[in-house]
Amino acid sequence: MLPIELISAALLTLIIVLLLVGVVARYALSLPVVWIDEIVSLSFIWLALLGAVLAMHRNEHLRLTWLVERVDLRWRGYVQAFALVAVAVTLLVLTPQAYEYMIDEWPVRTPELGWPNAFRVAAIFFSVVAMLLLIVTFALQTVKPRELIVAALVVGAVALLCWLGSGTLRTLGNWNLLIFLFGLVTLGLAAGVPIGFCFGLAVLAYLGFATTVPLTVVIGRMDEGMSSIILVSVPIFVMLGCVLDSTGMGKAIVDVLASLLGHIKAGMSYVLLGSLFIVSGISGSKVSDMATVAPALFPEMKRRGHRPKEMVALLATGAAMADTVPPSIVLIVLGSVAGVSIAGLFQSGFVVAMVLLLALLILARWNARNEDMTGVKRAPWMTVGRLLLLAAPALILPFLIRSAVGGGVATATEVSTLAVLYALVIGKLLYGGLSGKQVYRMLVDTAALSGAILLILGTASAMAWAIAQSGLVQQLSVFLTTLPGGVWAYLAVTIVVFLVLGCILEGLPAILLLAPIMFPIAKKLGIHDVHYSMVVVTAMNIGLMMPPIGVGFYVACRIGDASPDEVMGAIWSYLAALMAGLVVIAAVPWVSTVAL
């Protein structure tokens, strides 16, 4: 994997450098370099798909493991073998389609440089073949032959039955959506098939057995879903989160808040929530936020009598609250998919997060009424001043990001590169800097995580296209727009749907699947697109932290080193506080639109 790691690191570096050159040329020299976007687009899709290969090699593709871990040990091997075979079949079917798509794109030339578009989309073919080789090798090394044979026979038998019954399936119309795009996805998720491959297998089976649409369409939709220039900011913001963690800039923010608020009752809870709020505005990643804040605050919170389950519950719901704080990767993707202004989402997200923050602060104060404050003293003002001076450059960064995007000075992609450069320079000058080995490791980690995310975006885009082509969107639109209660009933349905999907799928797949369906209906009902976006994202984030399935809930438990069974009992009151905030956000559109 070393060559792929090296190429991925080089591609991400190239993208950041080119975007910085473009910003300087446009704003400082008034000389826009038009070919930069073409190079960035080509580099980005290769970065995304090489990252997907790295994620496969590291076994880091996002999946639901809660159900698999509860399967009896006698059968768990068969379930895992089924998941591996399902991934292998998906890649095997995609291989000839990716090759055909690459050949079809050869005559197409890029507008500025005149390069064949096949150079860009060849990344899909290469990654599919590489991942297929990896998954086959992994399966042969880790699964017993008997389990693998049984799983292959089961998958083969199901495929044969579907092929033999394809004529009947084509007469069922939209019931096939329930069979393939719901039933097959649910089965795959339960078996631990990575989310992106669940979507890919489902849409391939649906198009192959229930329609006459050529499967090459899937590759085309994947290409379109992963190629938006707006999405280039995703790996760069992931990289920014890595820089903050490694330089200690995030910890500096935590330290200064602790010195200001740590001496009052519930002060450490306030610090935890405030840190998540501010750090989220820099990293754009929930996992990075929680990993930065928890180690710095949990020891002192334990000393003051906070129970681990309460701390992790607050950590999880605080991360959910902070996910609307820009630069949120979820907001960037939502803006790209639903055609909503990212600048508007960034401005609105800050106010919405404030409402949720207030709800959590009130509950945290109530829960800390018996907190042991023995020996707790206010930090000397000299200490506060020193910490504030140290943290000031880090504290400025989220406000620079928001003001640059909100004021139209820079796009989300451009500001992400500026933020990385700023963090690297400040980290070097004030926080000790990073070694070359650390930077290389961050580049590779960013590529792997981004690849896992963007593969989901690609396959979910293909599934969303299949749903749209089926006519289901129009049927749902007629039904939902005639619901008794109008706008309020539709908002209530939206909240329930995204709570459930946020629980099961994690944020980005849920948005990609439903945004093309739900947003046109909301627009028809006269709901402001930014207001509706805030309801969607907030509901989805709450679902993400909702036990027993929510993926984010288990991530928080792992970071906080607490038993999920214990935290499960403590988190409900915090989720209720977030739900109260969500009701306010849904019922009062002004909250979402006041900053626009």
Runs of H (alpha helix) within 248-338: 249-261, 267-283, 286-303, 308-321, 329-338
Angle between helices 551-560 and 286-303 (to 10 degrees): 40
Q: pLDDT by residue (tens digit) across 425-456?
A: 887 777 776 778 888 988 998 898 888 878 88
- 361: tokens are 């602060």
**292 vs 163: which has the higher pLDDT:** 163
Instruction: Work out the burial of residue 565: count CB atoms within 10 Å of its CB; fewer than 13 is exposed, 13-18 middle, 19 or more buried.
Output: exposed
For residues 521 and 490, the answer to whether their CB atoms sit within 8 Å is yes
Q: Given this model, what pLDDT does residue 506 score?
A: 59
Q: Is the pLDDT of residue 284 over 60?
A: no
Split at pLDDT 50, 70, 90, the class of 204 is very high
List alpha helices for 24-144, DSSP H. 36-58, 73-104, 118-142
Q: Flag the least confident range among 349-358, 370-379, 489-498.
A: 370-379
Tell me the β-bridge partners of 116: 109
Residue at token pair 């190079």: 39
Question: Between the CA of residue 473 and those of 339, 470, 519, what are the distances in Å?
Answer: 17, 8, 11
Work out the angle between the directed axes of helices 412-430 and 233-247 (0-180°, nearest 10).
Answer: 20
Alpha-carbon distance 361 to 595, whole Å? 22
Q: Which residue has the tokens 């880091």?
A: 60
pLDDT of the residue at 436: 80
Task: Answer with the residue of higher pLDDT: 540 or 343.
Answer: 540
Q: Which of 131, 127, 129, 4 is nearest to 447 (CA)?
A: 4
Dihedral angle over CA of 141, 142, 148, 151, nearest 10 = -140
pLDDT at 160 over 90: yes
How far, in Å, CA of 130 to CA of 167, rounded? 34
- pLDDT in the model for residue 595: 77
The per-residue pLDDT of the chain, averaged, comes to 83
The most confident of the ranges 191-195, 429-433, 504-508 is 191-195
* pLDDT classification of 288: cutoffs 50, 70, 90: low
Q: What is the mean pLDDT of residues 391-404?
A: 76
Torsion angle of C-alpha atoms 93, 96, 98, 101, degrees rounded to 10: -130
DSSP 265: T
pLDDT given at position 337:
78
- Cis omega before residue 393 (within 30°)? no
Q: Tokens 């309801």 correspond to what residue?
A: 535
Q: What is the pLDDT of residues 21-75, one digit of tens each?
A: 887 887 777 777 778 888 988 999 999 999 999 999 998 887 777 677 777 878 8
3-state helix, strand, coil in the chain (%, to 5): 80, 0, 20
**Residue 552 reports pLDDT greater than 80:** no
pLDDT at residue 298 tops 90: no
Instruction: Work out the percent of the chain whose per-residue pLDDT is above 70.
Output: 92
**What phi and psi, each to the nearest 5 degrees, are found at residue 165?**
-100, 15
pTM of the model: 0.78
Give the pLDDT confidence score for residue 276 in this predicted structure.
83
Average pLDDT score over residue span 336-352: 85
The pLDDT of 335-363, averaged and rounded, is: 87
Mean pLDDT computed over 304-330: 81
Give the pLDDT of residue 133.
Answer: 95
Model confidence at 501, pLDDT cuts 50, 70, 90, reads: confident
Q: Is the pLDDT of residue 19 over 80?
A: yes
pLDDT recorded at residue 405:
66
Give residue-wise pLDDT tens across range 412-427: 677 778 888 888 888 7
Taking residues 270-277, what's their average pLDDT?
84
pLDDT tops 80 at residue 398? no
> Mean pLDDT, to the nearest integer, of 105-133?
90
Residue 377 has a pLDDT of: 74
The answer on pLDDT for 375 being more than 70 is no
Residue range 4-12: average pLDDT? 93
pLDDT on residue 507:
60
Identify the weakest region by mean pLDDT among 151-160, 466-475, 579-588. 466-475
- List the alpha helices (DSSP H) in 431-506: 436-469, 472-481, 486-505
Q: Regarding predicted confidence, which is higher, 403 or 459?
A: 459
| 8-state DSSP, 485 | T
Task: Catalogue the long-range contacts made by 145-154 (C-beta closer than 8 Å, 24 or more residues apart).
Answer: 147/77, 147/78, 147/80, 147/81, 148/81, 148/84, 148/85, 150/78, 150/81, 151/78, 151/81, 151/82, 151/84, 151/85, 152/85, 154/82
What the block records as the tokens of 264 is 């009052």
* Helix/strand/coil for 109: strand
State which of 192-196, 202-206, 370-374 shows the largest mean pLDDT: 202-206
